[in-house]
């Protein structure tokens, strides 16, 4: 009976692996830069860039550029709006088809708090996506909710964990989720680095990704 169970599990794992797509079988990579540039007590500018690959150091997936503004409502609550431009290759294998282009806008609210003395943040975002793929233009709206925590290990080091769920206004309600856990290093007052694991569920695919991020904070207020 025990041997039958083992054989059954081995066969199931083999079938599951065979059923995986190439994207699921490969460990991809996301490289991120995000900057927060303080302009006044209430206003700040946000910049961002991402490059995502289907494989660890190769096989291009997409690039993302972001420019936005933040408004500090209270010490805990911040509103934001941003514009993003994305260039997307939707296929794992090389092809000659043009990439999908996307213009995206969002409105966002972020709330910072503490649970058991650990800093947490809640982020709610509404996105408006305008895509152009092979001349076919589509408009998609969706909502995103993220909860994020940072556990300080020392003055320089910390552990970060977050989970973000995506909800569509049309079609399948729930089609994407991102779970991230990373090790962080606060290099200076202005620069932080993070490296860790991203588990990405999207359109019934389960993707494993390495994520490396650089965060920059600058202050342009008069001293």
CATH number at residue 195: 2.40.160
Interval 102-124 mean pLDDT: 96
Q: Would you place residue 23 in the very low, low, confident or very high pLDDT band (cuts 50, 70, 90)? A: low
pLDDT in tens, 147-180: 999 999 999 999 999 999 999 999 889 989 999 9
Number of domains making up the chain: 1
Q: Higher model confidence: residue 111 or residue 17? A: 111
- Asked whether residue 72 carries a pLDDT value surpassing 60, the answer given is yes
Please enumerate in sequence order all residues whose Cβ is within 8 A of that of 75, keeping only pairs 6 or more positions apart, or say none: 112
3-state secondary structure of 170: coil
Range of the domain at 63: 26-219
User: Is residue 179 a part of any domain in this protein?
Assistant: yes
Interval 130-139 mean pLDDT: 92
CA-to-CA distance for 190 and 84, rounded, in angstroms?
24
User: Is residue 10 a part of any domain in this protein?
Assistant: no
Interval 74-103 mean pLDDT: 90
Q: What is the pLDDT of residue 219?
A: 95
pLDDT in tens, 31-70: 999 999 999 999 999 999 999 999 888 888 899 999 999 9
The tokens of 197 are what? 């694991």
Interval 93-98 mean pLDDT: 73
User: Is residue 4 a part of any domain in this protein?
Assistant: no
User: Is residue 19 a part of any domain in this protein?
Assistant: no
Output b/e per residue, 183-211; b: 16+ Cβ within 10 A.
Answer: ebebeeeeebebebebebbeeeeebebbb
3-state secondary structure of 34: strand
Upper half-sphere CA count for residue 91 (Cβ side, 13 Å): 8
User: Is residue 197 a part of any domain in this protein?
Assistant: yes
User: Is residue 144 a part of any domain in this protein?
Assistant: yes
User: Is residue 16 a part of any domain in this protein?
Assistant: no
If you average pLDDT over every residue of the chain, what do you get?
89
User: Is residue 162 a part of any domain in this protein?
Assistant: yes
């Amino acid at each position: 009976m025990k041997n039958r169970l083992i054989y059954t599990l081995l066969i199931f794992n083999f079938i599951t692996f065979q059923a995986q797509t190439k994207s699921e079988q490969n460990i991809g990579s996301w490289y991120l830069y995000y900057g927060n540039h303080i302009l006044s007590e209430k206003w700040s500018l946000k910049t961002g860039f991402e490059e995502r690959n289907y494989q660890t150091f190769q096989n291009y997936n997409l690039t993302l550029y972001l420019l936005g503004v933040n408004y500090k409502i209270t010490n805990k609550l911040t509103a934001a709006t941003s514009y993003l431009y994305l260039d997307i290759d939707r296929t794992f294998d090389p092809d000659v088809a043009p990439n999908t282009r996307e213009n995206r806008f969002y409105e966002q609210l972020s709330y910072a708090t503490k649970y058991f003395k650990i800093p947490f943040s809640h982020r709610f975002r509404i996105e408006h996506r305008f895509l152009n793929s092979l001349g076919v233009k589509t408009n998609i709206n969706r909502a995103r909710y993220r909860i994020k925590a940072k556990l300080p290990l020392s003055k320089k080091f910390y552990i970060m964990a977050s989970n973000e769920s995506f909800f569509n206004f049309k079609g399948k309600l729930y089609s994407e989720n991102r779970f991230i856990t990373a090790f962080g290093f606060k290099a200076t007052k202005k620069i932080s680095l993070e490296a860790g694991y991203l588990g990405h569920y999207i359109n019934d695919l389960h993707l494993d990704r390495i994520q490396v991020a650089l965060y920059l904070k600058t202050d342009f207020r008069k001293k």
